Structure 1
């Protein structure tokens, strides 16, 4: 019989799985939006104020952002924002988050339509 040394081996700890899932989600979001180039690293550095090495680690997926850096990434990246909402089980919240953008675009389009009507352009209705 072997003496107990106090070392334990984790077998797929839930906390570790969540950490890996989080890191991978941020990695996928950043690379989908920025790509994996040196310019992506520079952009991530500018967004968060971190060093080049830290930004590279995030884009390569070896480390995930924490705290204020995550907030800055979410502020600047829709992909990261949506990834975090999805991880939190709040994927439907992105609809509400984008309503302001949709409303602003609709208001702009209505102004354009109004300006065209004032200039005498007829608007076709129906087919």
Structure 2
């Protein structure tokens, strides 16, 4: 049986892409890879990974992904990944999802920092 493709739409198998990051086996080696793994975590409802990969300075105490109706994540497009410093980067992306049959898009430019060799999501600006 074929292994499913990764939800982050890298074109790679989930087991060879985001799974080792979500399982804590490997760190993301770029801000883009961390952002893709965070998208995958949203598709799987993995709030623990999302909190672990969020910088402590902006991380919420709790992340409730049990909203009803639950979003169905249907696509990710990375528009740009820019290294803004040795240990900082931005990633612009568009994530598509459906809620109650209606299509939505989240267009965000996210900021990331690397500390202790690990990338963390800091925050982002949502485009209207």
Give the TM-score normalised by structure 1: 0.29
**Which has more radius of gyration?**
1
Decide which structure has greater helix share. Answer: 1
